[in-house]
Structure 1
Amino acid sequence: MPGFLLHQGATVLCLHSGSAQPIVVNPRVKVSGQPIVTQTSTYAIAGCPNTLPSGTPQPCVTASWIVAATRIKANGMPVLLQDSQSICIPTGTGLTIAATQVRVKGM
């Protein structure tokens, strides 16, 4: 499915509303003046309020991407799109891309 390319300034949240930011970006390719993110980049999550049913905190800590662009690569790695899918560690939930740039679309 086509979607807008994900960049460093995109608003990305875990399913519990914790804020997620890429640890590594691709500095060679920019959209809207900001570096894009490829599938190999892990996201760090801060502020996840998730707790187990027992009340023990179990926040999302990091997330890895399992689905990315099929036709667009940067430095040989698939780029992330607005509809890319991820999995959070240790909860197993995903990330939600709430807002991204709207100028460059990929597939």
Structure 2
Amino acid sequence: MSGSLLDAGAVIGCPHGGRVTAATTPSGAVRIGGAAVATAAHAYVVAGCPHTVDGVRSPCATVRWTAGGTGVTVDGAPVLLDTSAALCFSAALVPQGPPVVQAAQRKVTVR
């Protein structure tokens, strides 16, 4: 798997336009341009998702990443790439689609 590393400044959204942010700020020793590299050990939340199902609000609330396959870790946790598999979930843990990575760190590439 190849892709660009995600860092604390990556712009990520849910499939419905909500904003994804790290609930636990990446703070590892590995940094790119001053921003910490994001790993699967960090929790991610969604704010501002307008998603509804049959007229009932069902916004995305969290993102779960599957960051295996690269073999690259920071502090023992797999790094996140713009190509890492992930799903957004509602508060009821209903899968609602993959997040959209709009901007990732392009200076470092994992191959």
TM above 0.5: yes
- What fraction of aligned residue pairs are identical, expressed as a percent? 32
Equivalent residue pairs, number: 106
Residue of structure 1 in register with 2:19 after alignment: 19
Residue of structure 2 in register with 1:30 after alignment: 31
Give CA-to-partner distance per residue, 1:62-105, whole Å, 9 cap, x none: 11112345221001111000101111122412211110111011
What's the C-alpha RMSD, in Å, of the aligned pairs?
1.4
Residue of structure 1 in register with 2:84 after alignment: 84
Note closer, same or farther for the CA distance 1:104–1:74 as it changes in structure 2 (3 Å cut).
Answer: same
Note closer, same or farther for the CA distance 1:41–1:69 as it changes in structure 2 (3 Å cut).
Answer: farther
Q: For 1:101, which of 90, 105, 109 is the aligned residue?
A: 105
CA contact (8 A) 1:50 1:60 kept: yes
- Structure 1 regions of 5+ residues with no counterpart? none
- TM normalised by structure 2 equals 0.88
Give CA-to-partner distance per residue, 1:7-46, whole Å, 9 cap, x none: 0111100000100011221331111110111112221100
Residue of structure 1 in register with 2:56 after alignment: 56
Q: 1:70 aligned to 2:74?
A: no
- Structure 2 regions of 5+ residues with no counterpart? none
- TM normalised by structure 1 equals 0.91
Residue of structure 2 in register with 1:39 after alignment: 40
